Chain A
C-alpha cells in the first residue's frame, strides 16, 4: 500500500463516518421533540455534513481518478463504505440518538484534536474547524445525557436501554488497520489507542453523573472497516443515493 492509497482510505473513512451520521441526524429535522431542539440538532447535522463533504472532496483529490465528493457519496455500494457501525444505527428515540451522539462526540473531539497536529495540511485545516464544532456538539449531547439520566423515570429507562444497545459498537472506535499504521509512521494519521483510556474515563464520568450504568463484558461488534455493515446501511444508502443512481447523467 502506498502512502497515497493509505491516505485515500483513511480520509474516505473519516468522510464516511461524517456523512452517514449526518444522514441519520437530518432524519430528525422537522420531527424534533420541540422546535428549539429541532433547530439545534439540524445545526449539528449541518456541521457534520459540511465536514463530511470536505473530507470526501479531499479523498477524491488524493485518489486523483476524476471522481468528486458526490461520486464517492452517491455511487458506492454499502460494501464500499467504511464508516463505523455506530454511525448507521437507526435513530430510535431521542435518548438513543443523544447517547449515540455523546459517544461519538467524545471520541471525535479527541480524534480531531490529535489530527490537528498531523503533517497533512489539508487534514489539519479540516480538523481545526471541526474541533470548534465538535466541542459544541459534545456540550449539547452531554447535557442531554445528563437531562435524561436525571430527568424522569421514563427518560432514565430509555437512556439506559439505548446505552445497553449501543455500547457494543464502541469497540470499533479504537480499531486500526494497515492504512492507519502506515500513516501514523508518516506523522499523518492519529494513533487512536493513545487516547482510548482518556475516552473511557470521560465517558465513565458522564454516565456516572447521569446515573446510568455502563454495560460490562460486552462482545464488541466489528466490520465497518471491511465494508461489512449492519442491515441498516443498505436501506440508508438506497434512499440517499436514489436520484443520482436513477439519473446517472444528470447534474443537479
Chain B
C-alpha cells in the first residue's frame, strides 16, 4: 500500500522530468540498474587510463606529453566523480573496486584493445572519446541527480579530449608517409571496436527498455551509433584517410550512412574476457591496488591518530 504511494511519487517525478535524489524512494530495479551502469562507467574511466597511460613516457614532444598527462588525469577524475555518484546509492568504493579487481564487474570492452603506436593515442582521443561524449551528453539529462551532475562536470572537462586526439591524427595524417601509414593503421584497428561502444543492436539489447523507461538512457544504442558514423565520416575524409568499411555509403532516404555492423561475436568474446588485453588490464589494476595497500594502511592509522587527538583536544 505504502510502496504503491512511493512508486506513484517516483513515477510522477519521472513524468515531470524531475531528478531522483539519493534519499528519495526508488524501485529496487532502478537502483540496481543505476548502480551497475554508474560503476561500470567509473571502472571504464579507470581502466581507460591504462591504454593511454601506456604512452605517457613515450610521448614524442614535451607539449604532447603535458596534454596526454592532463587527459589521463582527467579520466581518473571522472572515475572518481562517478564512484562517488555510485556511492550515494549505498555501495562503498571498496566494494566496487573489489568487484572490478575480481572480474565481477564489467568495464567498456574498448579498453581491452592495445595501443600499439602513437597514432593510437590520436585514435583513442578522437574516436573512443568521441563515442563516449555522445553517450555522456545524453546522460547529462539522466534521471538520477548525482549521476547527471557528475556527467555535467565530466562533459565540461571532456571537451578538449576529442580535439587533442584529432590534433594528433592531423599531425600524423599530414606528416611523413610513415606517420600517415600509422594513422590509417590506427583507424583500421579502432573503427569497429569504437562502433561496438554503443552496445549491441537495439533488438538484442537486454537492458535498454528499462533504461529508456526510467529515463536513465534517453536514446537507443542504434540511434547513437548512427549519429556517430554520420558525424565521423567527414572527419575521416578531411584527414585523407579511409574508413575500413567497404559497405559505407550515403543513404539519401535516411539522410545518413549505411555501414557494416561490427563483429558482434568478437564483442561478446571481449566482454567474456577474451580480448587482446583483458588479462593485462586487470593485472595492472590489481598490481597498483595491491602495491598501494601498505600506503592506505599507513594513511588509515595516521588519520585515526589525528582524529583521536582532535577529539581529545
The chain A residues found within 8 Å of chain B, CB to CB, are 19, 23, 26-27, 29-39, 42-43, 45-46, 49-50, 52-53, 56, 69-70, 73-74, 93-94, 146-148, 150-152, 154-155, 158, 239-240, 242-244, 247, 249-252
Contact = CB atoms under 8 A, between A and B. Distances in A.
When A and B form their complex, which 8 residue pairs have the shortest distance between CB atoms, in order from nearest? A33-B292, A151-B298, A155-B298, A33-B295, A30-B49, A30-B53, A243-B60, A252-B60
Interface string B267-280: 00000000000000
Chain B interface main SS type: helix
Interface of B: 46, 49-50, 53, 56-66, 69-70, 72-73, 76-77, 79-80, 83, 118, 168, 171, 175-176, 178-179, 284, 287-288, 291-299, 301-302, 305
Given A34-B296, A151-B299, 9 more contacts: A23-B57, A33-B293, A38-B76, A42-B69, A53-B63, A147-B299, A155-B298, A250-B178, A252-B61
18 contacts: A26-B69, A29-B49, A30-B288, A31-B53, A32-B292, A46-B66, A46-B69, A49-B66, A49-B69, A53-B66, A93-B291, A94-B295, A151-B298, A154-B294, A155-B298, A242-B58, A247-B179, A252-B61
Contacts of B293: 33
A240 B65 CA distance: 10
A97 to B, nearest CB: 10
A60 B46 CA distance: 38
A42 B287 CA distance: 19
B63 A30 contact: no
Contacts of B53: 29-31
Contacts of A26: 56-57, 65, 69
B62 A35 contact: no
Contact of A243 (B58, B63, B291, B305): B58
Given A35-B80, A150-B305, A152-B301, A53 B72 contact: no
